[in-house]
Structure 1
Amino acid sequence: MKIALALFQLDRRGGKERDCLAVARSLAERGHDVTIVTTSRPASETRPYRIATVPRRGLTNHALARNFARKAMNYCSEVGSDACLAFERIPGAEFYYAADNPAASKVRGVRSLLPRGRMRLALERGVFERSPCPFFFFLTEQQRCQFGALYRFDASRSVVLPLILHDDRYDMVAAGSDPARIRQQLKLPATGPVAISIAVSSAFDNKGVDRSLTALTHLPDLYLVVVGSNDRRLKRRVKSLGLERRVRIVPHASNIIELIAAADVLVHPARSEAAGQVIGEALLAATPAIISSVCGYAPCVERSGAGVVLEEPFRQDAFEQAISGTLARLPVARAAATRESQRLQHERGKWLAVIGDEIERRIGSGSR
């Protein structure tokens, strides 16, 4: 089958972009003719699929989103694609990968009247209120319920994907790690308590990095490694709090599993998180996690006992107590995380198989 995947900016390489590339490769390996439709491509590399770029049109983000949705569907029509799997809000696509939480839950009041808010809502409604609706791939049951509370779509035309972990993460775990070496490279204490936070550069507050920095001001023995952000605001905040000695900022890292394994605990008190792949990565690395309950993968931590899920509304003192408590019972928390890591070894590739199976079943049978 000829399958198109639509993603606005492929070279950004955040979680959504990584997911799109993995899905494209998996579908191509199943024998399909796969093309990713995007406005920007990553560096040249050997791949079993094609990348088609369409022009960026628009002076604002909402204009860019609207025009990309149109151009992606025009491309699919022109080349005769059997199906389009959209990673953005694209009305008309046969499949929708819900990489983000509902815009309708955030764009309210005055924001819904502004051009950007109106366009985000219009595109989302074009996806969820169309008849027949596309088939939806949701990241978590919590996310499916959030969309279900806002839109009356046919829930039978949806599936919640198994926990998403990429093959390279499994390969890193299989290769083993040397926490002592990593700590030495980062000039961290060999045995002192170390927490790690993962945040995309432009969203470090959304991921709760500011909350983790505040915790450090009350936990004088704790060190923090912040991975994935090199934002000047972050550096200024670290300096203003007098935390330069105990904070390590790693802008980019390919050895994310090694970094997580070298820490005692993952801290991810996010304000918004559709799923939170870093949570699964921490559990795969047998590292306990302290996360907010808004994270889509919070049930994984709760079920396994490999950490603490913070209740909403967020309380800074409860977060700091959770860190202290987890460090105090670290052997128990690590044992639970190790058991979950062993379980996750058997989940490799399942999320990709679900996507491939559903697309083949629905396009092959004509039940789009």
Structure 2
Amino acid sequence: MKLAFVLFEYFPFGGLQRDMLAIAQAAVARGHQVTIFTRAWEGGKPKDITVHLLPVTAGSNHRRDVQFAGQVSELWADFDLRVGFNKMPGLDWYYAADGCLSERYSWPRSWLPRYRSKLDMEHAVFAQGSTTRILSISPPQKSLFQDHYGTAEQRFIDLPPGIRRDRVLPQCYESVRMAHREKLDLTDQQPMLLFVGSGFRTKGLDRAIHVLAELPEAQLFVVGDDRPERFAALARRLGVMSRLHFMGGQDNVPEWLWSADLLLHLAYAENTGTVLLEAAIAGLPVLTTKACGYSPYIEQAAMGQVMNDNASLAMMALAAKTLLMQGRDDWRQRGRVFAASADIYDLVEHAVSALEAGDDGEQE
């Protein structure tokens, strides 16, 4: 099949972007032809996949989205399937990595042009009159879409997580951990807190910095690309800037997971939270919130603590202290059990199989 994959912007350290590229490469490996339409591409381009750049000129972000959707709709007629990784009209399939905006944008904000435009895009995908099918990766968000739009159950294909197996704790983790911590000028006894993600605000970096302030011996390392200014200002106000380290996007995420002592992912909104499962199979305990779609896995695996969304900063700090007091070997053993037993690795294969099975884009 000729597949059109559509994405507003590609950058190498985004979770949605990684999923899109992995699905595209798996489709090519099965003999399909993939063209990626996007308005911006950062980093190297993949082999055997055409990347078609469509520059847009609109000034605001929501107008750029609309302009891009209009441009790509004029180019995808000859493709067998149109697969969107952002919400827009005319898709055969939508990969639902983003949460339900109708749940978040209530009146009167929903009538502002910026939000109204985004809601219109969402309506085009999920409304009862739409024929777009949905690759669903978050059961809680799926329920919200059905509540707001009445989307038929048969339009959804539920996918398992797609965690990369290179995150699993290896037998040689001790030497990797020691070498990595030496590079960071950390002893084995110093608590190393880790934050991974490129959306600092929604993923709760401010909460992580407040937790850091209550752990005077700890260092917090932030792995991900975003604007750090407001968070650095918060750290300075709390007197912890010397213990907060912005590392930017990193290609060696497994080494960070194996070297740290606690993952802080106290998100305000998170459709899934892939890093939660990456940490768990790496034997790294997790402190997170119920806002994360994958948080039930952490509870089921006993790999950390899941806080209520309205938990106080003091409660979060206390939970972090408690998790750090538990033996690291115990966490590693739990992580190995979870890695060996959980069905969390096959998202990409299931996604491509769904596209192949529903190649006419119609409801079954």
Comparing 191-200 with 264-273, which one deviates more in the overlay? 191-200
Are the equivalent residues in 1 in contact too, given 2:9–2:39 (CA < 8 A)?
A: yes
Are the equivalent residues in 2 in contact too, given 1:298–1:309 (CA < 8 A)?
A: yes
Comparing 217-226 with 30-39, which one deviates more in the overlay? 217-226
Higher relative contact order (CA 8 A, sep 6+): 2
Which of 302, 306, 315 in structure 2 is aligned with 1:305?
Answer: 302
Which of 260, 268, 277 in structure 1 is aligned with 2:257?
Answer: 260
CA distance in 2, matches of 1:169, 1:32: 28
**Residue 35 of structure 1 corresponds to which residue in structure 2?**
35
**Residue 237 of structure 1 corresponds to which residue in structure 2?**
234
1:71 matched to 2:71: yes
**Residue 57 of structure 2 corresponds to which residue in structure 1?**
57
Which of 167, 178, 181 in structure 1 is aligned with 2:179?
Answer: 181
**Residue 146 of structure 1 corresponds to which residue in structure 2?**
144
**Residue 355 of structure 1 corresponds to which residue in structure 2?**
351
**Residue 89 of structure 1 corresponds to which residue in structure 2?**
87
> How far off is 1:337 after superposition?
2.0
Structure 1 residues 174, 363: CA separation in 2 closer, same or farther (over 3 Å shift)?
farther
Unaligned ranges ≥5, structure 2? none
Are the equivalent residues in 2 in contact too, given 1:209–1:269 (CA < 8 A)?
A: yes
Structure 1 residues 356, 275: CA separation in 2 closer, same or farther (over 3 Å shift)?
same
> How far off is 1:83 after superposition?
0.5
Are the equivalent residues in 1 in contact too, given 2:282–2:332 (CA < 8 A)?
A: no
CA distance in 2, matches of 1:254, 1:14: 12
Are the equivalent residues in 2 in contact too, given 1:7–1:36 (CA < 8 A)?
A: yes
SS in 1 for 2:195: strand
Paired letter, 1:326: L
CA distance in 2, matches of 1:190, 1:174: 18
- The superposition leaves residues 120-157 of structure 1 with CA deviations (integer Å, 9 ceiling, x where unpaired) of 11111111115343111111211111211111111112
**Residue 6 of structure 1 corresponds to which residue in structure 2?**
6
TM-score by length of 2: 0.92
Paired letter, 1:141: P
Q: How does 1:1-368 map to 2 (within 5 A)?
A: 1-11=1-11, 13-77=13-77, 80-129=78-127, 131-166=129-164, 169=167, 178-200=176-198, 203-229=199-225, 231-330=228-327, 331-344=329-342, 347-348=344-345, 350-363=346-359
SS in 1 for 2:42: coil
Structure 1 residues 367, 158: CA separation in 2 closer, same or farther (over 3 Å shift)?
closer
SS in 1 for 2:35: strand
Please give the root-mean-square deviation of Cα atoms over the aligned residues, in Å: 2.1
| Alignment coverage as a number of residue pairs | 361
Report which of the two has the higher share of helix: 1
Structure 1 residues 326, 115: CA separation in 2 closer, same or farther (over 3 Å shift)?
same
Are the equivalent residues in 2 in contact too, given 1:269–1:291 (CA < 8 A)?
A: yes
> How far off is 1:174 after superposition?
8.4
CA distance in 1, matches of 2:122, 2:360: 27
Paired letter, 2:195: S
Are the equivalent residues in 2 in contact too, given 1:4–1:81 (CA < 8 A)?
A: yes
CA distance in 2, matches of 1:173, 1:67: 47
> How far off is 1:341 after superposition?
2.3
* Identity within the alignment, %: 27
Paired letter, 1:363: D
- The superposition leaves residues 297-330 of structure 1 with CA deviations (integer Å, 9 ceiling, x where unpaired) of 1011011111111123222122112111112223
CA distance in 1, matches of 2:293, 2:331: 21
Are the equivalent residues in 2 in contact too, given 1:10–1:41 (CA < 8 A)?
A: yes
Paired letter, 2:114: R
